[in-house]
Amino acid sequence: AFVIQWSILLSGFLHLHDGQIELSIKGLVTADFSAAAVLITFGALLGKTSPLQLIVIALLEIVFFTLNEWVGLTFIKVADVGGSMFVHVFGAYFGLAASRVLYKVDIEESKKEGSVYHSDIFAMIGTLFLWMYWPSFNSALAVGDDQHRAVINTYLALASCCVVSFAISAVLSEESKFDMVHIQNSTLAGGVAVGTCADMMIEPFGALVIGAVAGTLSVVGYKYITPFLANKLKI
């Protein structure tokens, strides 16, 4: 709630109409997107920071988020209807940078640094809701035929990603079992990856390929890249 209000103000300052901040559905959706970027950043920081630190991080991140989006849309003319770049990539790298600054060995090596059964179950509920509503997320700012196209492309990318994520998770597992972390996160990677071009004519085959590649890279990332970042780069 705090982030949404702060985002509306900052975005309004950059897009004043006759000296006044204009409120619109697009502006409210963009504010929701900014909150999503902060949540992505928090994913790399939860358990390492206090509530006050999280508020400060959110306060600063929205400033950079708004400036980044303004520069990208106004001067570079970036097409990013689903926020893959402005929301997900920005939130991820901001989180990595903050995680590096706040790195502590005792936290990373703690026995609590991991999932437990009941938290996995609740997280899966969140995954199901995100999976179902991701097409509306990617199509929220599109209009007309572009909006219909965004829904279809996102749905196909999610379906492809889901199948591939399950398969790759089992292949990379020592016991050929599904990893709950992969299922919770990698099954959504297709929706993230296709977000930038969801409203474009990428054809069903293109959406399926994007989803499959995203699912594969996500599982491989969780399996190999995450430990590497923690052990070698202290992230």
pLDDT over threshold 80, residue 135: yes
pLDDT at 36: 96
| 61 and 96 inside one domain | yes
What pLDDT, on the 0 to 100 scale, is given for residue 167?
96
**Where does a domain end: 48, 81, 113?**
113
| Domain membership of residue 200 as a residue range | 115-235
Looking at the structure, tell me whether residues 106 and 217 fall in a common domain: no
Question: Is residue 193's pLDDT more than 90?
Answer: yes
Of the candidates 230, 232, 231, which has an alpha carbon nearest to the alpha carbon of residue 96?
230
Q: Which of 62, 84, 113 is the last residue of a domain?
A: 113
pLDDT in tens, 74-116: 999 999 999 999 999 999 999 999 998 988 776 666 666 667 7
Cβ-Cβ contacts under 8 Å for 222 (sequence gap 6 or more): 179, 181, 182, 185, 186
pLDDT digits (tens, 9 = 90+) for 37-52: 999 999 989 888 899 9
Give the chain's count of helices (H) and strands (E). 11, 0
Query: For the chain, what percent of residues have pLDDT higher than 90?
Result: 74
The structure's pTM equals 0.91
Which is higher by pLDDT, 233 or 57?
57
